[in-house]
Amino acid sequence: MADRSGSAVSLTRLLAIARKEFIQLYRDPNSLAIIFVMPLLLLLLFGYAVTLDIKEVRVAVYDRDRSEKSRDFIHRFAQSSYFRMAADAQDYKALTRLINLREAQVGLVIPNDFSRSLDSGRSTAVQVLLDGSDANTANIILGYTRAVVQGYSQSVLFDYLGHQGITDRRLPVELRPRVWFNEELESKNYIVPGLIALIMAVIGALLTSLTIAREWERGTMEQLVATPVHKLELIIGKLIPYYLLAILDVAVAMGVGVLVFQVPFRGSLPVFFLLSSLFLFVVLGQGFLISVIAKNQMLANQMALISTFLPAFLLSGFMFSIANMPVVLRGITMLVPARHFVTILHGLFLKGIGLGVLWPEMAALLLFVTVIGALAHRRFSKTIT
């Protein structure tokens, strides 16, 4: 071992290993199908299914006033594209039931002095009942409700002032929002690039961790080591076929994102492939490292899932905003490769930024590659000798 490790890395041997690995993969149609079909299927399914947009909120109303004003008020909800009138409740109990059965997501109770109060220039309180168990949805619904109520409130005020002879119906201050990068605020534009990162993080690590763990279990790794192959050649040679397959996956996924899901791509393609390659080396290397440590398929699988899927799902910013996490957890997210890749993909797809802005993420990925490579190299020689 010692005499070989000093010799230079030979390209011929490296390519021979890569070729062997390719042939092995080629003969295993099951794995190939998984490599190609799984990412695509997952992306398509989730791209369609997974959305945080909340539209057509079902409203139930218990109108105790039954006046022209209260009907006008309800009409504003019906007109808004965010709401859909689900039911008219005859009493409070019926309203409660509608919410409990989830037939209505929000319930409005209009007090019986609604129009009287407004006509005489006083304020009136509309009760808004929500099922708070899904806090995010409830918050968004509350926001929509507030917007409709505020709009109505303002028009009532202006009507009132009109009667008093003040005809200027403009508000003194208005908010002019300008939304950048995702102008229509569509969650698919945010979720699809994140999904690509999530799926590739898992597939990448699973691929290498399993195939190499299998080689250990069957004893063929020892046979390989006994040949005059340099261990660096072995590591790189084994990774090359998987890298090529994975980068193909990334390209297809990106195509699907742009063509099927209409996510804009505003960055540069070379930068996209450069940074994607870097990320794939990290996750493939991670899988390799796991397989060297675990040497057992069942454990390798568990480790790969725990170290890739969960962090990529929870700590990458794909779903949950990192800025909201406790400081310790925020620090930990820096160690999650997918976090950096999610940032990169959002930047390239939506913001159209380049390496000038993304260099810290690129540096982080480079650091991961180096550390994982060094660790894999060391653990590998230890386990053989």
Please choose, out of 10-18, 248-256, 274-282, 349-357, the segment that lies near another protein by the rule CB under 8 A: 349-357
Q: Decide: is 343 part of the binding site for another protein (CB under 8 A).
A: yes
Are 55 and 81 in contact by the 8 Å Cβ rule? The answer is: yes
Q: Which residue has the tokens 């509309």?
A: 126
Please report how close the Cβ of residue 263 comes to another protein at its closest, in angstroms: 11
* Site size with another protein, rule: CB under 8 A: 113
Please report how close the Cβ of residue 219 comes to another protein at its closest, in angstroms: 15
How far apart CA 145 and CA 152 sit, in angstroms, is 11
Q: Which residue, 15 or 296, is less far from another protein as judged by CB? A: 296
Q: Which residue, 144 or 279, is less far from another protein as judged by CB? A: 144
Strands across the sheet with 83-88, in order? Answer: 83-88, 57-63, 106-110
Please report how close the Cβ of residue 321 comes to another protein at its closest, in angstroms: 6
Q: Contact with another protein (CB under 8 A): which of 15, 16, 25, 54?
A: 54
- Other beta carbons within 10 Å of 115: 21
359 three-class SS: helix
Q: Decide: is 324 part of the binding site for another protein (CB under 8 A).
A: yes
Q: Which amino acid is at 292?
A: V
For the record, the structure tokens of 138 come out as: 């409830």
Q: Which residue, 230 or 316, is less far from another protein as judged by CB? A: 316
| Cα angle value 203/356/180 (rounded, 5°) | 80
Question: Hey, which residues between 55 and 84 contact another protein (CB under 8 A)?
Answer: 55, 73
87, β-bridge pairs: 60
Q: Decide: is 118 part of the binding site for another protein (CB under 8 A).
A: yes
Are 36 and 242 in contact by the 8 Å Cβ rule? The answer is: no
Whole-angstrom CA distances from 357 to 77, 276, 340, 343, 344 are 43, 16, 12, 11, 10
Q: Which residue, 14 or 292, is less far from another protein as judged by CB? A: 292
Please report how close the Cβ of residue 255 comes to another protein at its closest, in angstroms: 21
Q: Decide: is 112 part of the binding site for another protein (CB under 8 A).
A: no
Q: Which residue, 4 or 330, is less far from another protein as judged by CB? A: 330
Q: Which DSSP state fits 325?
A: S
Please report how close the Cβ of residue 241 comes to another protein at its closest, in angstroms: 16
Q: Which residue, 13 or 153, is less far from another protein as judged by CB? A: 153
Tell me the per-residue interface mask from 81 to 100 with another protein, x by CB under 8 A, - otherwise.
------------------xx
How far apart CA 267 and CA 264 sit, in angstroms, is 9
Are 200 and 307 in contact by the 8 Å Cβ rule? The answer is: no
Q: List the one residue out of 81, 26, 39 whose CA is nearest residue 250.
A: 39
| Cα angle value 249/307/42 (rounded, 5°) | 35
Please report how close the Cβ of residue 5 comes to another protein at its closest, in angstroms: 30
Question: Hey, which residues between 175 and 194 contact another protein (CB under 8 A)?
Answer: 175-187, 189-190
Please report how close the Cβ of residue 176 comes to another protein at its closest, in angstroms: 5
Tell me the per-residue interface mask from 128 to 157 with another protein, x by CB under 8 A, - otherwise.
xxxxxxxxxxxxx-xxxxxx-xx-xxx-xx
Tell me the per-residue interface mask from 204 to 233 with another protein, x by CB under 8 A, - otherwise.
--x---xx--x-------------------
Helices 269-294 and 187-218 sit at what angle, rounded to 10 degrees?
40
Q: Which residue, 130 or 245, is less far from another protein as judged by CB? A: 130
Q: List the one residue out of 359, 361, 301, 318 whose CA is nearest residue 337.
A: 361
For the record, the structure tokens of 279 come out as: 């990320």
Please report how close the Cβ of residue 132 comes to another protein at its closest, in angstroms: 3
Please choose, out of 249-257, 264-272, 277-285, 321-329, the segment that lies near another protein by the rule CB under 8 A: 321-329
Q: Decide: is 16 part of the binding site for another protein (CB under 8 A).
A: no
Question: Hey, which residues between 255 and 314 contact another protein (CB under 8 A)?
Answer: 296-299, 301-302, 305-306, 309-311, 314
Q: Contact with another protein (CB under 8 A): which of 20, 71, 97, 351?
A: 351
Q: Decide: is 46 part of the binding site for another protein (CB under 8 A).
A: yes
11's enclosing H/E stretch is: helix 11-26
For 203, residues 6+ apart whose C-beta sits below 8 A from its C-beta are 35, 38, 39, 246, 249
